[in-house]
Structure 1
Amino acid sequence: MGEGGRLERWCGWVLVGVAVLVPLLAWLAQLGFAPLMALAGLLMLPALRLSRDDRPVLIVLLVALAWAAVSSTWSPHVPKNPEDSTALKLGLQLPLYWSAICGARRASPGLRNLALQILAWGLAALGLMLIFEAVTGGAIYQALHGRFIEPIRPDLAGRNLGRATFVLALLWPLATVGAMRGGAPGWLAAPMAVGTVVGAIAFNADAPAIAVALAAVVGLAVLRWPADAPRALGSLAAVLFIVMPAVVLAGRAAAQALSIAPGLPLSWAMRLGYWSHAADWIGDHPLRGWGLEASRAFGPGIVLHPHNSPLQVWLELGAAGALLAAAVWWLALSRLTRDKPDLIAAAAAASAMIYLLFGAVNFGVWQEWWLAAAALCVALAGAIKGQNVLRPSTRDPI
């Protein structure tokens, strides 16, 4: 077998290793996704390619990366050392994560199917584990943490297990279709979905429970309208990034005019406060923004980040950054357009909208493990589809 065959086998074995580790990291150490995807990309660098179909998204990402790096020169947040530089990290993540995506596409069919089976069974086991952890109050997680790291308070253990439900909610649509494509039973979706909902409710994570229903709605819409739904979703995502500050200001003005003071849980009340402060500060530098990672300098009005991706992009990168983010989302989702129903496109769209949901209410744009989770989703789509991943086509529907 020639050089191409050796590379395909090598990428396949790397993909198998990733599949083995993903469920464990999702349960015990979500921050490990960043080094996992970086290592996978490094190992699969020989597979790095830039196809004509990929070029538009990558060009916009490169321009956005350059703008983010330039904006760091006027940001009030100054990293203490190069290891803390978000611009440097993003500059390394883009090629490494793209290499992992290309490697997943290039993996040999047999090993690719093996990886998809391992991942599906592993995430189904994670779903069952989350149900058990919900019933026992995180007993196994606390025991393992105390045995190998240090004792952990039950509330902190619950918070970490709640984060696991975010990962499972994000991955289950693609893992389900991957299971069907790789030869594993489709019913593995049930423990993934149920485990997400039960764990989310038990560990006070609202968004993952909503995400399971959102995935079903988005997936069915893309299957029903394969040519129009992806473009509509892409347009919706782009519009949200462009108009979010205006939406927040309009909502606040309406609440004040009507003297509405809703009683909300503390976490949601804090989010509304962050969003209101962010919208005000966006008005000071609406075009260029305050600079990369400037959100960290706005405490106590904002703690770390606004917990809303469009607002964070506006606050730090201004209108230019918001337009670039809108372009990335529109290009990524609209290229899922198909002439006929395609389960891979439906699953990819579902995971993309879940990522958008979580970014709108939970995570910061630049969180390393969360960016790695996005790269993992694209890599999974590539592994399921192969070389023609995300390319509009009437061929090879599942």
Structure 2
Amino acid sequence: MSAKAGAPVLRSSSWSVEAWCGWVLVGAAPLVPVVGYLAPLGLAALVSLVGLLCLPALRIADEDRPAAIILFAALIWAAVSTTWSPYHPGKVGNMTIVKLALELPLFWSAVSAGRRADPALRTRALRVVAWGCALFGVVLIVEAATHAVIYKALHRLYQPIRDDLAESNVGHATQVLGLIWPLAAVSAAPRLRAWFALAMFVGTGAAALAFGYDSSMLGLVLAPLAAAVAWRWPRGGPRAMALATAALFLATPFAVWAVRHFLDYEAIRSSLPRTDSMRLGYWSHAIDWIGDRPLRGWGLDASRMFGPGIILHPHNNPLQIWLELGAVGAVAAAAFWGVTLGRLARPEPSLAIAATIACAMAYLLFGVNFGIWQDWWLALGVLVAMLSVMNVAEEAGRRTAQGRIA
């Protein structure tokens, strides 16, 4: 068969993959706010399912290769570190390294699906996400005013829940919407973006204030500031934040040590609310253990073995990487974030890029609350990447169309 004769077959195959990915994303889009509100832990299953269904779309583009190499090398190092880790799970299903090895291709496939989806279906999926997250924001406003009456009523239908747990769970949901709202708002039709952003912003803030989630409140301050920097300095802003993020992963143990060494660390702890005071205690114990094995760390999941000083993990992503994977892991994390954020630099302002930077900074901020290997937390980061590539492609398509009209 000649190359000319084979060309239509290639186009047909490409079209079918694009259409399939588009329909998968359209099907998953309405579940994003529902799962984020009712069961954030289910985000791991949702993103993994998208990745599984869209495996034919998996590609590593030339510009993706540095990040892919870093992630693969980090995965190998994490696997090697299990040989000296004091934590030994009894079941294969509880092994973090097994889950990470499965999630890497699935999550990458989900991002590839966002990039390769049929443009019309991609637009539809983005609009559904935007409407759903705007409604999510409105629901959070109601929840804040009524002490989570909607969440409690829904739970009575299938599983009664204590009032304090219901309110805490709604507060937890603010960290989902509080993370993705910039990209979710940009996903709306241009005339609706400001209104949708307002609904998401107010909903997150009201519920976070009502249920005591300070990190969500701080995220509402940090995200717009980061977006403004990326918009005002589209080339230098992302690069500066890439350097700052790399420094965060490399220097966090030294920063905690400096505060403890030069200031009254215990006085600072005692002046903070109980949860924040406990977190500072974990950090202090973590840097002591890091000092014993600074290069190779204690091994993957070793954080679980350092109780009662550290419960499960240090509640700080950079410190957990240092503690478990040592300086090698910290360098890998710094390199990944540096490469990922640095490549967002553009010669001209981009709303999609500004929203991506906003979400990335919020993700780093919220990382002081969660263990870095938690499946749902990793999936939430992948969801940000999916929304980012979809919006960047959408924006590029609009600019191309405008250029043709001009």
* TM-score with structure 1 setting the length: 0.94
Quick check: 1:28 aligned with 2:38? yes
C-alpha distance in 1 between matches for 2:267 and 2:93: 47
Counterpart in the other structure of 1:240? 248
Q: Measure, in 1, the Cα distance between the counterparts of 2:92 and 2:170.
A: 31
Computing the radius of gyration over CA atoms, which structure comes out larger, 1 or 2? Answer: 2
The separation in 2 between residues aligned to 1:301 and 1:92, in whole angstroms, is 31
Partner of 2:293: 285
Which residue, 187, 190, 194 being the options, matches 1:178? 187
- Is it true that 1:7 corresponds to 2:7 in the alignment? no
Compared CA separation, residues 151 and 224, structure 1 to 2 (3 A): same
Report the Cα offset of residue 260 of structure 1. 5.8
What is the aligned partner in structure 2 of residue 375 from structure 1? 382
**Greater CA drift, 158-167 or 318-327:** 158-167
Q: 1:397 to 1:331 in 2, by over 3 A?
A: farther
Match of 2:161 among 129, 152, 158: 152
| Correspondence for 1:168 among 157, 170, 177 | 177
User: What is the match of residue 353 of structure 1?
Assistant: 361
Q: Are 1:255 and 1:261, in contact at CA under 8 Å, matched by a contact in 2?
A: no
Q: What is the Cα deviation at residue 258 of structure 1?
A: 10
Taking the aligned partners of 2:182 and 2:48, their CA distance within structure 1 comes to 23
Partners of 1:191 and 1:365 in 2: CA distance: 29
Match of 1:140 among 147, 150, 167: 150
- Per-residue CA deviations over 1:165-195 (Å, capped at 9, x if unaligned) read 00001111111111146x7544211100110
What residue in structure 2 maps to residue 223 of structure 1? 231
Structure 2 residue aligned with 1:71: 81
Please name the residue that 1:104 is paired with: 114
The equivalent residue for 1:385 is 392
Task: Please report how far the alpha carbon of residue 387 of structure 1 lies from its aligned counterpart in structure 2 after TM superposition.
Answer: 9.0
CA gap of 1:143–1:260, structure 2 versus 1, over 3 A, is: closer
- Whether 1:330 and 2:341 are equivalent positions in the alignment is no
Q: 1:17: Cα distance to partner?
A: 1.4
Equivalent position amino acid for 1:347 in 2: A
Match of 2:6 in 1: none
Q: What is the identity, as a one-letter code, of the residue corresponding to 1:46?
A: P
**Aligned-residue offset at 1:147:** 1.6
Q: Deviations over 1:151-173 (max 9, x none)?
A: 21111111211111000011111
User: CA separation of 1:54/1:201 partners in 2, compared to 1, >3 Å: closer, same or farther?
Assistant: same
Letter in 2 for 1:20: P
Tell me the secondary structure at the aligned position of residue 336 of structure 1: coil
8 A Cα contact 1:218 1:346, kept in partner:
yes
Structure 2 unaligned residues grouped into runs of 5+: 1-10
In structure 1, what is the Cα distance between the partners aligned to 2:117 and 2:194?
Answer: 22
Structure 1 unpaired stretches of 5+: none
- Residues 192 and 387 of structure 1: CA distance in aligned 2, closer, same or farther (over 3 Å): closer
Contact preservation (8 Å) 2:35, 2:43: yes
The residue aligned with 1:342 is 350
How far apart, CA to CA, are the structure 1 residues paired with 2:330 and 2:401? 35
Cα deviation for residue 229 of structure 1 reads: 0.6
SS at match of 1:2: helix
Kept in 2: contact 1:106–1:387 (CA 8 A): no
RMSD: 2.0
Deviation at 1:146, TM superposition (A): 2.4
Pairs within 5 Å for 1:106-125: 106-125=116-135
Are 1:317 and 2:328 an aligned pair?
no
1:54 aligns to what?
A: 64
Query: Which deviates more from structure 2 when the two are superposed, residues 257-266 or residues 61-70?
Result: 257-266
Aligned to 1:222, the other structure's residue is in SS state helix
Q: Against the structure 1 CA distance between its residues 387 and 75, is the aligned structure 2 distance closer, same or farther, given a 3 Å change threshold?
A: farther
Amino-acid identity (%)? 52
Tell me how far 1:259 sits from its aligned partner: 6.5
1:92 maps to: 102
For the residues of structure 2 that align with 1:220 and 1:213, how far apart are their CA atoms?
11
Could you tell me how far apart the structure 2 residues matched to 1:153 and 1:91 are? Answer: 37
Counterparts of 2:304 and 2:13 in 1: how far apart (Å)?
48
| Structure 1, 275-284 or 252-261: larger mean CA deviation | 252-261
The correspondence of residues 286-301 of structure 1 with structure 2, limited to 5 A, is: 286-301=294-309
CA contact (8 A) 1:130 1:195 kept: yes
Structure with bigger helix share is 2
The verdict on how the C-alpha distance between 1:273 and 1:18 changes in structure 2, with shifts beyond 3 A counting, is same
Amino acid at match of 1:232: A
The alpha carbon displacement at 1:257 in A equals 8.7
User: In structure 1, what is the equivalent of residue 54 of structure 2?
Assistant: 44
Q: Which runs of 4+ in 1 moved over 4 A?
A: 257-262, 394-398
Aligned mates of 2:78, 2:395 — CA distance in 1: 31
- Letter in structure 2 aligned against 1:50: I
* Counterpart Cα distance in 1 of 2:79 and 2:16: 37
Closer/same/farther in 2, CA of residues 5 and 306 from structure 1, 3 Å limit:
same
Name the CA distance, whole Å, in 2 between partners of 1:396 and 1:230.
Answer: 26
Q: Deviations over 1:217-244 (max 9, x none)?
A: 0001001001101010010010011111
TM-score scaled by length of structure 2? 0.93
